[in-house]
Chain A
């Protein structure tokens, strides 16, 4: 399989050759996915924690629903967001279709259930451990949410990274709502799809290698931050 070796060398050439076009695409990918994940955490973590500590009717059903939504098909999310943002759709006035904002919105929808479901799991475990203690201190269930989230912050990085992995790797949604427009909404995954359809398989594979390296870099960065902050706490 000369293809693989060739593609790997080509990807190294692209990375170290300082291809401006490539770095622009990498930048758009990161901007879109990181923004989407940030919003997803902002919304998904409190929701997940609230489900974890709450005692209300329909909680079981809600947990099942959020878990199921982790499997939202990107292409369906893309289609729904397209229909919403289309000029014939209810949100057409916002003029967001074929912009990075539309891609952020689509990925936000995909990632939020993942963050919420994983947060729910983490916080529920912590809550089982600390619930009696918190109640004895007079902290209400809702009030205990920030404390539990803070206490579970290291475990929650997994939720963030799972969300990021989903966002950076999906192509179905961003292709439809972004339109794969050069220099505007073209990201790594849509570039790979485009080069594949041009028959430039080794270039597509090289770009795939870079995408995987990007995922490694982000994960490594988070792991480093994680261990650094643990050290600070234990001093």
Chain B
């Protein structure tokens, strides 16, 4: 009998731990949205979500990570809604049954920012692939996200088109920070590098130093955001009702108007395009 008690003790201890810790932080109705650093660092979500919460009394909890990690987390069932920007990966997520359906939400575009000295001579170009090729030819320092995010995937597509061997350049002029957009901008600006960034993060970024936009307005720099409800059949804990209400709001008139209304210094950061 006493032997049995001893064996149970650690279990009881663990139970006591959670019993004490859990009720302190009681939860109301909320959803967890796995999203990207660009939507958070640009301030968009902080701007539009209070309106949604006021209207529906659903609290939205944003976990802002790279698109790759966001998709992985959602696949683990650790979120109700996925709001990211890597269309191919999003469609694969739905095709494999992890998500219910993908909806377009909004778009903006990528830009390549660079140091004022412009060692690769790409300022003013509007052909991103040619510009990257010139960066490679000049061995000019380039800072990459290197984190499997949506921006990183877009960048890799452009490099592949430019036919540049990144493996050989890695650690030399091609530097992978393995971190979010803002952290990569901080690092890249510190080393005078060229950086591909989404325009929203760039406009709202507070540590631009002397860096300027070098390349923009290439149709290949188009950046589409999509929203997906995590499949409740895969993960029964998914708050599907509240998640669907959020998606309907975001792709409906109210959400689309809120996205269009978000401006910094008079510049619109995201352009709603839900159908």
Show the binding face of A for B, using Cβ within 8 Å. Answer: 35, 39, 86-89, 92, 94-101, 104-105, 179-182, 184, 194, 196-201
Contacts and interface: CB of A to CB of B under 8 A. Distances in A.
Nearest to B64: A180
B63 A87 contact: no
Given A39-B17, A88-B77, A198-B205, A182 B186 contact: no
A88 B78 CA distance: 8
A199 B185 contact: yes
Given A96-B22, A199-B182, A88 B76 contact: yes
Given A87-B76, A181-B62, A201-B206, A101 B182 contact: no
A92 B77 contact: yes
Given A86-B78, A99-B25, A101-B22, A184 B37 contact: no
Contact of A199 (B179, B207, B237): B207
Contacts of A86: 73, 76-78
Contacts of B206: 198-201
A99 B207 CA distance: 31
A99 B28 CA distance: 12
Contacts of B182: 196-199
Nearest to B21: A101
A122 to B, nearest CB: 24
A181 to B, nearest CB: 4
A199 B21 contact: no
B162 to A, nearest CB: 28
A180 B180 CA distance: 14
A52 B30 CA distance: 47
B207 A101 contact: no
Contacts of B207: 199-201
A90 to B, nearest CB: 12
Please classify the interface of chain A as helix (H, G, I), strand (E, B), loop, or mixed, using the class held by over half of its residues: loop
Nearest to A178: B63
Given A98-B32, A100-B25, A201-B206, A181 B61 contact: yes
Nearest to B202: A199
Contacts of A196: 182-183, 186
The 8 A-B pairs with the shortest beta carbon distances in the complex, nearest first, are A197-B182, A87-B77, A199-B207, A199-B206, A179-B63, A88-B76, A199-B205, A181-B61
B64 to A, nearest CB: 7
A97 B186 contact: no
Given A87-B237, A199-B206, A98 B78 contact: yes
A86 B32 CA distance: 13
Nearest to B17: A39
Interface in B4-32: 17-18, 21-22, 24-25, 27, 32
B61 A97 contact: no
A65 to B, nearest CB: 18
Interface in B46-90: 46, 61-64, 73, 75-78
A181 B18 contact: no
Given A94-B18, A198-B182, 4 more contacts: A89-B76, A100-B25, A179-B32, A199-B206
Interface in B34-49: 37, 40-41, 46
B33 to A, nearest CB: 10
Contacts of A89: 76
B204 interface: yes
B27 to A, nearest CB: 8
A98 B18 CA distance: 15
Contact of A197 (B27, B62, B181): B181
B21 A98 contact: no
Contacts of B63: 98, 179-181
